[in-house]
Amino acid sequence: MTMFAHMLRHAGATAIAMAFCVFAVAPAMAARDYAEFDDESVIKRAEQVIEERSKDGVFIFRDPKLNSDLNLVYEKVKIVRGMKGYGWFANAIFHKKDEPEKQYAIDFWFKPDDEGLALIDIRVQKGPKRDGDGYTMITRLPVAWWWLPVQEHPGTTEDTRAWHVMSVIHNYINKNKNDEGALELTDKETGEKIPLEFVEMHRPIRYIKKDGMYFACSDFRKVGSDNEYYDIDFWVDEKTGRLQVDDVKIHKVPIQEDGIWTQKDLYTFEGMDFEVTL
């Protein structure tokens, strides 16, 4: 069964419309590129990850945005998408343990490697919100970059899009994590090496035409802390003909004033001319 057929069979009218948009905008992963993988093999791999990370039928997921563990019960994989060069994405439905009315949609990002499908990251796409006497799932903002092509107008373009830049940054973060899953950066003011947990990446993505650099801001939290948040800036260029992270800077650091955590700028963007915003 093809990936598109699977979406038609499992997703319903809304997802069907979304599927047309995705495949019109994003580069679909063709069978000739990864002939050994299809939507069924992605579902199988996602369910394997879920089983490996479950205890007594409960999937335990560390949610970086909430800074807590979610105890979830798996229901089904709703949608599988492939984007050539970017990987496979399985969107799975769960509900909170002992509270089946509180549902979550969780994205599993895989990329093919020599051993099969490697898990790159897991992110919450939707979470429960009170709606009258029950709950409904709402999309968590900001959305992950792999959902952005769905929001773009169908058509072919050679221009760099926001999600292109964001995917490069997300890959950089995952490749440079330590064994505990933290990105370690050095605070130039104190010389301290800080282990940071990736929380989320923001839009817009800005472009400095003069320097040929893209810029994106991301939120990180110091590992082991509830309130120490850092703004980390990623600078991306195309000097080699491909997008790549050229520099990573700590933009804001947490400081405590009168018992309240705030942030202090280590530098500003004064004098920088952001000519294009993605």
Among 108, 126, 150, the domain-final residue is 150
Domain span at residue 192? 161-277
Residues 102 and 190 in one domain: no
Provide the whole-model pTM. 0.85
Q: Are residues 44 and 143 in the same domain?
A: yes
Most confident of 1-15, 25-39, 209-223: 209-223
Which residue, chain included where needed, has tokens 């394997």? 48
Question: Do 144 and 175 reside in the same domain of the chain?
Answer: no
Question: 202 and 128, same structural domain?
Answer: no
Burial of residue 61 (CB within 10 Å: 0-12, 13-18, 19+) is: buried
Looking at the structure, do residues 26 and 145 belong to the same domain, yes or no? Answer: yes
On whether residue 156 sits in a domain, the answer given is no
**Quick check: 3 pLDDT over 90?**
no
Per-residue pLDDT of 121-167, as tens digits, reads 999 999 999 999 999 999 999 999 999 998 776 654 557 899 999 99
144/202 same-domain check: no
Do 219 and 113 lie in a common domain?
Answer: no
* 145 and 15 in a common domain: yes
For residue 5, what are the contacts with CB-CB under 8 A and spacing of at least 6? Answer: none
In a shared domain, residues 12 and 133: yes
Report how many domains make up the chain: 2
pLDDT-wise least confident of 23-27, 67-71, 140-144, 187-191: 23-27
- Would residue 101 count as lying in a domain? yes
Domain co-membership, 137 together with 166: no
Quick check: is 155 in a domain?
Answer: no
Residue found under tokens 């009258």: 132
